[in-house]
Amino acid sequence: MTNTYLTPESLAGMIDHAVLAPTATLDDLRDGCQLAAKYNVASICVRPCDVATAAELLKAKNSPVAVGTVISFPHGSCATQIKAAETAQAISDGADEIDMVMNFARFIGAENSTDAADFLRDEVTAVVSAAQGKCVKVIMECCYLNHEQIAAACKVIMAAGAEFVKTSTGFGSGGATVEDVTLMREVVGAEFGVKASGGIRTLSDAAAMIAAGVTRLGTSNTAGILTAMHSTS
C-alpha cells in the first residue's frame, strides 16, 4: 500500500470508532472513548443506551470527537415512529450523529419500486426531522440488496435529506465491499457522504474502501489500523 495522500491524522479523521457489541460493558465504553480521544477520530459510534455516558466522558476529556449512535440496529425493522422517537432521545442524550438502519426487508419486499421508494423516503425523512440538523447516515445493509436496489435506495436517501449512505451494520450476512462502495459513489456523486462498515479490520481494508470513494469508515479495530498506518508513514 502507498500512502501518497493519507496521513495518520487524516485517516483517523475518517474513522467512526465502533463500540456496538451486544456484550459491551461500561469499561468497554470507557476504553473506547479513551481510544477515540487519543487518536482524535471523527466519532465514536455507540449503542443508544451509551450515548449520554459517552458524551460525558468525551466532554470531560475536552475532546472534539463526535458521539454517534445507531437507530433500529441492526435489523431496521422498527416502525418509522419508533425510529424517529429513538432519534429524538439520542439527540437529547447528546448524540451528534445518527446512523439509522433502513427497513431493508420492507424495501426489497415491496410490491413495486414506487412503494419501496415511498416507504424509505418517509422513514428517512422522519429520522432527519427528529435529528434536528444533526448528521444522519442511512445504513442500507447492501449484502441483502442487488445493484439496482442499492442504486435506487441511494437516490431516495439523498432526496430525503440524509448526509450519508452507509454499506452495512456489520451484523448482516456480509460487510462492506469495494464493488458496493464503487456503485454507491457513482450514484451519489462526488460530494455526498459514503460510509463503509462491516469487516474493515486492517489498513489494507481501509485503503481499499478509501480508494473506492468512502469518506467515513466504521471499525472496531481503530487502534490496529492506525498503528499500522503510523508504521508505514
| 137 annotated active-site | no
Q: Is 99 a catalytic residue?
A: yes
Query: Which of 16, 50, 96, 99 is labelled catalytic?
Result: 99
Q: Is 155 a catalytic residue?
A: no
Annotated catalytic residue, options 16, 83, 93, 195: 195
Catalytic residue among 50, 166, 180, 205: 166
**How far apart (Å, rounded) are the C-alpha atoms in residues 9 and 2?**
16
Q: How many Å separate Cα 5 from the centre of its chain?
A: 23
* CA angle, residues 19, 121, 21, in degrees to nearest 5: 10
Amino acid at 171: F
Specify the 3-state DSSP secondary structure of 93. helix
Residue 152 near residue 116 (C-beta atoms within 8 A): yes
Contact 139, 166 (CB under 8 A): yes
Active-site amino acid positions? 99, 166, 195
